[in-house]
Structure formats: structure tokens, C-alpha cells
């Protein structure tokens, strides 16, 4: 009878301990996900059109003013009492406006700067999307592993419940112990359901970023934890100033406003309009008359004073904004570096040796329960401790990868692989 109880108990716990997580059919790495997002994410594709629009503005700025054609004819002649007497009086004139003081040149250069700024804005949008992808990818990966953990524990308890019927018959466990196992499984399943709901939400966000339909399931490959080395503060600042689009944009914005000031000053100088009359019959004392015209506005009142003043103010404003970007950049890089180093030290505590000992602790708890050195309550406590520790490890891995992502976002370049 004692042997039968022991065999039943061994089967009871072995079924619980020897469970592995299920694997999905399709897998994708982080590198593949990033490549797919850059190629297919609709938000990035739409943002790229802003560059085309800015380049079209350059083409438009290069174009010269169209000439004017003027045709003036007699609609009603009092002398002849006839309508549309074009033969009596008509005027033909061609006019062309010429912009001086560099208005055309400044307009073209301003449009080119606008195109360069659009390119930088696009790069900054891509940087933000990569940050968001990495953040969502890490969350999905963590929730995936959490669900696998809870599902593994739940299946073990499920087999324990199934085997408990035989154990009750042999007297290996009591009815109360069976109910306790069932209650524990319900708690695990409830937690697993909450994790799964969060996982589905994050998967939907990932599908949008990767332009994947809702009915397609993708399993993510685990990301390797990069080694933290060579994080010299001065070098990181140099990398950030060389690669961050928002920093370059703040510098380019100063240049843009300085060019705009030149344009506004040149706009204060009136345009010149020349005209040529190849034929004028009936409206002059001399027939047929050929002549030329010259027109320009007289800048007595409007010399573009307001726009010039606003352009000067925007220069000062853009300089202050650039100083703010530099200050923010330095603090963001320093903070992300310190955070990453701190998480790296914590991750080292969960080395392979510790994780191996953790698994051993779980197996020993099962063996001690078989030998009745542990009660069911103590065995469940060991299981909970195992789950809590594994969850801490998964959370810490996620925070570490997020810290890596944050550093890459703040320096504008991926340096840790």
C-alpha cells in the first residue's frame, strides 16, 4: 500500500514538473521586425511624402514669373456707332515682372532648406517609430514568456488534479489537498487570462507597426541581452550630436530663419515690370504706335517692416530652442546611460548558475513533497516563490532591453547589438 502511494505521488509531481511551453508556428526576429516596419508601416510611408512635397516646393521656387499678355480693343465706337470695331482701335502689350535684390535666389535657397528640414523630420519620425517598435516588441516578448510560464504551471496543476483521483483512492492525499490544488490552478488561470488580454492588446499594436492583418499570429524570437561596454559619456554625446535628427533640425532651423530674414529684406525692394507694345492703333496720337512701359511700386508706406521684424525674432527664438535641445540632449544621454548601467548590474545577478539553481529548487520541492518532507501548502509556497522569481527576471530583462532602447533613441544610433 505504501509503495502504491509513493508511485502515485511520483507520477503526480513528475507530470507537474516536466512541462514545457508550447511554441507558435511563425517566428520573427527583432531585426526582421524593424526591417519590415521601415518597408511597410503606413505611418512611415505617409511621412515620406512630406519629403516629396518639400522637393516639389524647390521646383516651384526655381520657376520664373510668367509674362503677361494684354489685348485691348474697341467694344463700341461712337464715331461709327458700331460694336466691336476692332479695326478702329486695338492695343497689344506684353509685360514681364523681374524680381531684384535676390528675391528669387533667396526663395530657392529657402525652399532647399525646407526640403532638408523635411528630410530631418522624416528621420526623426523613423527614430520615434523604431523606439516604439522596440518598446512594443519587448513588451510582447515579456508577456509571451509570462504566459508560457503560467500555462506551464497550470498544465502541471491540471495533471495533478487528474492524478489526484487515483491518489485519493489510495489515500496518498486528502480531499482538502485536492481542493487546494484546484484553487491554486484557478488563481494561476485567472492571472494567465489577464496576461493574455494584455498580450493581445500589445500584439495588435505590433501588427499595426508591421502592417500585419489581425488574423495573422507572429511569435517573436527572444532578443539577446547586449553587453554594456564602451559607454564613455563624451563619446555618447558626440554620437548624439552626429546622429540625432532633432538636434540637426534645431541647427538647420536657425539657418532657415536667417535665410528667411534675407528674403524678407529683399522683398522690401519693389519688383520691376517691363512691358512692350508692338501694336497700338487708335489710342495714341500717332498711328500705329510702338512703345514700352515700366512699372514699380513706390515703397513709401509698406517696406515689409513687420515681416522683417518677425524674421529677426524667429532667429532669436530658434537659437534659444536650439540651446534647449542641446541641454535636453545632454541630460537625456546621461540619464539613459546611468539607467542602463544600473539595469546591467541587476541583470548580472540572474546568471545561468542562479537560474539553474532556481530550477533545481523547484525539482527539490517536488521531491520533498513526495517524501512528505513538505506539506502541500509548503509545496505551493515554493511554486509561488519560483513564479515570483521568474517574473522578476522577465521584468528585469524587459527593463534592461527598454534601457538599451532608450539609450539608442537618445543618441540616435544603435551601438549595442
pLDDT in tens, 209-267: 999 888 887 888 888 889 888 799 999 999 999 999 999 999 999 999 999 999 999 99
Query: What are the angstrom distances between the C-alpha of 411 and each of 44, 319, 360?
Result: 21, 21, 42
Query: What are the angstrom distances between the C-alpha of 249 and each of 50, 109, 115, 325?
Result: 15, 16, 11, 10
pLDDT of residue 312: 97
User: For residues 415 and 225, what is the distance between their CA atoms, to the nearest angstrom?
Assistant: 13
**CB–CB of 309/140 below 8 Å?**
no
**CB–CB of 137/27 below 8 Å?**
no
User: For residues 261 and 374, what is the distance between their CA atoms, to the nearest angstrom?
Assistant: 82
Question: What would the grid cell of residue 241 be?
Answer: 550630436
Question: What would the grid cell of residue 346 be?
Answer: 541587476
The string of pLDDT tens digits covering residues 3-62 is 445 454 544 454 444 444 433 346 889 999 999 999 989 889 898 999 999 999 999 999
Kindly state the DSSP code that residue 76 receives in the 8-state scheme: E
Residues in Cβ contact with 155 at an 8 Å cutoff, skipping those fewer than 6 apart:
19
Domains of the chain by range and CATH? 2-411 (1.20.1600.10)
pLDDT at residue 145 above 60?
yes
Residues in Cβ contact with 109 at an 8 Å cutoff, skipping those fewer than 6 apart:
259
CA 111 to chain centre: 27
User: 212-222 b/e with 16+ CB inside 10 Å = b?
Assistant: beeeeebebee
Cα angle, residue 416 at apex, residues 218 and 124 outer, rounded to 5°: 75
Of the two residues 277 and 363, the one the predictor is more confident about is 277
Total Cβ atoms within 10 A of residue 252: 20
Query: What are the angstrom distances between the C-alpha of 57 and each of 50, 63, 114, 197, 252?
Result: 11, 10, 8, 47, 17
412: exposed, middle or buried (C-beta count within 10 Å: 0-12, 13-18, 19+)? buried
| β-bridge pairing 68-73 and 90-98 | antiparallel
| β-bridge pairing 219-220 and 27-28 | parallel
The string of pLDDT tens digits covering residues 251-291 is 999 999 999 999 999 999 999 999 988 877 766 655 567 78
pLDDT of residue 50: 93
The string of pLDDT tens digits covering residues 62-94 is 999 999 999 888 787 767 777 877 777 788 899
Amino acid at each position: 500500500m505504501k509503495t502504491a502511494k509513493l508511485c502515485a505521488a511520483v507520477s503526480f509531481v513528475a507530470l507537474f514538473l516536466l512541462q514545457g511551453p508550447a511554441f507558435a508556428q511563425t517566428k520573427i526576429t527583432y531585426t526582421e521586425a524593424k526591417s519590415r516596419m521601415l518597408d511597410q508601416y503606413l505611418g512611415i510611408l505617409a511621412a515620406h511624402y512630406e519629403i516629396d512635397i518639400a522637393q516639389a516646393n524647390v521646383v516651384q521656387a526655381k520657376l520664373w514669373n510668367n509674362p503677361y499678355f494684354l489685348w485691348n480693343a474697341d467694344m463700341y465706337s461712337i464715331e461709327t456707332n458700331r460694336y466691336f470695331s476692332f479695326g478702329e482701335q486695338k492695343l497689344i502689350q506684353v509685360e514681364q515682372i523681374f524680381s531684384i535684390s535676390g528675391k528669387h535666389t533667396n526663395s530657392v535657397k529657402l525652399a532647399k532648406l525646407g526640403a532638408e528640414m523635411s528630410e530631418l523630420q522624416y528621420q526623426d519620425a523613423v527614430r520615434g517609430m523604431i523606439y516604439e517598435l522596440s518598446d512594443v516588441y519587448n513588451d510582447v516578448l515579456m508577456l509571451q514568456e509570462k504566459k508560457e510560464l503560467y500555462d506551464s504551471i497550470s498544465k502541471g496543476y491540471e495533471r495533478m488534479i487528474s492524478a489526484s483521483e487515483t491518489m485519493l483512492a489510495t489515500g496518498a492525499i486528502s480531499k482538502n489537498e485536492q481542493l487546494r490544488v484546484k484553487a491554486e490552478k484557478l488563481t494561476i488561470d485567472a492571472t494567465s487570462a489577464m496576461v493574455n488580454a494584455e498580450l493581445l492588446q500589445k500584439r495588435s499594436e505590433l501588427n499595426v507597426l508591421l502592417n500585419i492583418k489581425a488574423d495573422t499570429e507572429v511569435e517573436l524570437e527572444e532578443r539577446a541581452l547586449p553587453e554594456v561596454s564602451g559607454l564613455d559619456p563624451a563619446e555618447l554625446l558626440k554620437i548624439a550630436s552626429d546622429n540625432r535628427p532633432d538636434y540637426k533640425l534645431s541647427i538647420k532651423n536657425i539657418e532657415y530663419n536667417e535665410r528667411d530674414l534675407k528674403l524678407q529684406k529683399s522683398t522690401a525692394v519693389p519688383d520691376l515690370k517691363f512691358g512692350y507694345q508692338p501694336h497700338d492703333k487708335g489710342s495714341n496720337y500717332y498711328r500705329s504706335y510702338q512703345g514700352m512701359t515700366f512699372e514699380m511700386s513706390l515703397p513709401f508706406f509698406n517696406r515689409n517692416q513687420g515681416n522683417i521684424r518677425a524674421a529677426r525674432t524667429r532667429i532669436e527664438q530658434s537659437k534659444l530652442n536650439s540651446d534647449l535641445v542641446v541641454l535636453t540632449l545632454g541630460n537625456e544621454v546621461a540619464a539613459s546611460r546611468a539607467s542602463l548601467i544600473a539595469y546591467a548590474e541587476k541583470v548580472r545577478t540572474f546568471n545561468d548558475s542562479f537560474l539553474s539553481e532556481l530550477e533545481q529548487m523547484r525539482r527539490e520541492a517536488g521531491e520533498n513533497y513526495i517524501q512528505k518532507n513538505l506539506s502541500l501548502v509548503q509545496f505551493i509556497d515554493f511554486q509561488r516563490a519560483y513564479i515570483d522569481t521568474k517574473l522578476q527576471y522577465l521584468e528585469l530583462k524587459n527593463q534592461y532591453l527598454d534601457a538599451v532602447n532608450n539609450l539608442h533613441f537618445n543618441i540616435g544610433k544603435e551601438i549595442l547589438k
